[in-house]
Amino acid sequence: MCGIVGYIGYREAYPIVIKGLKRLEYRGYDSAGVMTYDGNTISVCKTKGKVADLEAKADKECNAGSIGIGHTRWATHGVPNDVNSHPHVSNSGNLVIIHNGIIENYAPLKEELIKRGYVFHSDTDTEVLVNLIEEIQKKENIKLGKAVQLALNQVVGAYAIAVFDTKKPDEIVAARLGSPLAIGVGEGEYFIASDASPFIEYTANAVYLEDGEVAIIKRDKPLKIRKINTDAPVDTYIQELQMNLEQIEKGGYDHFMLKEIYEQPNVIKDTYRGRLLADKGIVQMSGIEDNLEKFVNANRIIIIACGTSWHAGLVAEYIFEEFARINVEVEYASEFRYRNPIINSNDVVIAISQSGETADTMAAIKLAKAAGAFVFGVCNVVGSSISRESHAGAYTHAGPEIGVASTKAFTTQITVLTMIALRLAKAKGTLSHSDFHRYLLELELIPEKVKEALETTNAIAEEIALTFKEVSNCLYLGRGYNFPVALEGALKLKEISYIHAEGYPAAEMKHGPIALIDEHMPVIVVAPIQGHYDKIVSNIQEIKSRSGRIIAIVTKGDTEVRKLADYVIEIPETSDALSPLITTIPLQLLSYHIAVLRGCNVDQPRNLAKSVTVE
């Protein structure tokens, strides 16, 4: 989950690397480091803490260089401290490496290297890898690129790496397996990064390394890519980037998370733009149209995802089963891949991931493909690993999501999945023509209703946050389509405010959680007028009779719940199936305001990282 940046060219490397690390800090922020080389001297500076801490130190210690590599870390092997920070230097001092991922067999490799006289200063698997490369280089008397290839054939695990050798001062060697790596291609210069955001203002051209590839990156020379295992050359495919600098800046908001919450009306519209033509009764996506028969004839749909994407999958389960009348199972990708699941060739597997790089979801995709299932990816990042590994797919159009706690990815994923369900229902004839057309019209209106919800609920959410910012526990309840919204609301509060919160189906409250309810326990109830309204009113009465403090999300004009709740947040009315796109808005805002009032780092919550590329 770490972020890596590299530069080789005619500019000063240090400012490019530092700026790039700041943009990748969402991937990890336990510690950071940088190496620069000015043609004579290597400068290495690293420290525990954030990139700002590194910058304060490195401004005095690092040369500008024309070659540089940098790293922002999410700790796996070894606690976050100065020594365990990257870059790591080989025993000779000639090789320098940065690494995202995990080398699973580092322990036996380390033992063997110690026997050969190598000394280790950190607890990391990465220091083992750089010394393994050096040992192979010396033993075989070969160049850096070949030594990297041979070393990587000995390791087990996942990695994206960049390696520099003082004896090859115009070259960086990069490789990937299971962790993303992009190479920006400029005029007489190259950029290396975990995603394209560090180099977007310098070039619109990028090469995304595939798993099992190594790149030899030389100043003023064509890029060379080879297969790690076979040494076979790979044709270089340059893609044009689909993002701009404005998308990765805060745009006047205090936090990326708040900016991304407020972007939801636009990104939901962007996600269905060109795919949904409500006035013509059309919903279409090329990935579905080209494979419609597989969906129509599928025995079942299996949705695999992690975290917030899993919650979007749970919403989709209700939508697919109601609209298209097909059996749906929603699985944690991390469990699915390890429990020997039953997968058939007539199953459709939908894999959901914001980043398109989630390690457990990638592994689950490979398992499903090996069993003969058709895999359809839903992700946000063009050219990501999941988009390439899937048989077909559909992109959301959320734009870059920098805040670690996902918001706009959730609503755009639900938007894509709803369109798929509607298209499938039309093909199967499981929705009447009038219902199909009604849902298209309602989905088209969602951006305006989300905008209204943002305008009317933000101040109320902030007021409620003032009352509940010091609580220790919260309970979130919802029924039907809004049970997953309760789960997502609880996750948001946990992630950014560090308050313990749990989401439950409202009817399950009586089967245990009701024991927790007293005058100190806030209970957030998602209770729109559509759906199981009478039942959830009964659940609220049960909470009230036990002195629970009730915060209710209700449809505008509600009277029944208002009589019982301590606090009410009104939202615009829509159909039950589409309500999660709106009910989630006040929960995002409530979590945000509580976290801000508690003095938490909203965009970079402790112990978390945005793109989970390790198991």
Q: Report the alpha-carbon distance of residue 491 to residue 485 in Å, rounded.
A: 10
pLDDT of residue 58: 86
Catalytic residue flag (residue 610): yes
pLDDT of residue 313: 97
pLDDT of residue 381: 83
- Amino acid at site 70: G
pLDDT of residue 582: 97
pLDDT of residue 532: 85
pLDDT of residue 128: 96
Q: Report the alpha-carbon distance of residue 567 to residue 463 in Å, rounded.
A: 10
Catalytic residue flag (residue 366): no
Ranges in the chain, pLDDT < 70? 1, 75, 77-78, 243-248, 609-615
pLDDT of residue 258: 95
- In three-state secondary structure terms, 59 is helix
Per-residue tokens: 322: 């109601």
pLDDT of residue 518: 81
pLDDT of residue 79: 74
Which one of the listed residues 2, 45, 62, 306 is annotated catalytic? 2
Which one of the listed residues 50, 451, 494, 610 is annotated catalytic? 610
Q: Report the alpha-carbon distance of residue 248 to residue 562 in Å, rounded.
A: 40
Q: Report the alpha-carbon distance of residue 574 to residue 115 in Å, rounded.
A: 68
DSSP 206: E
Q: Among 276, 289, 571, 594, which Cα is nearest to 462's?
A: 594
Q: Are strands 171-177 and 190-193 parallel, antiparallel or unpaired?
A: unpaired
Verify cis geometry, omega within 30 degrees of 0, for the bond prior to 528.
no
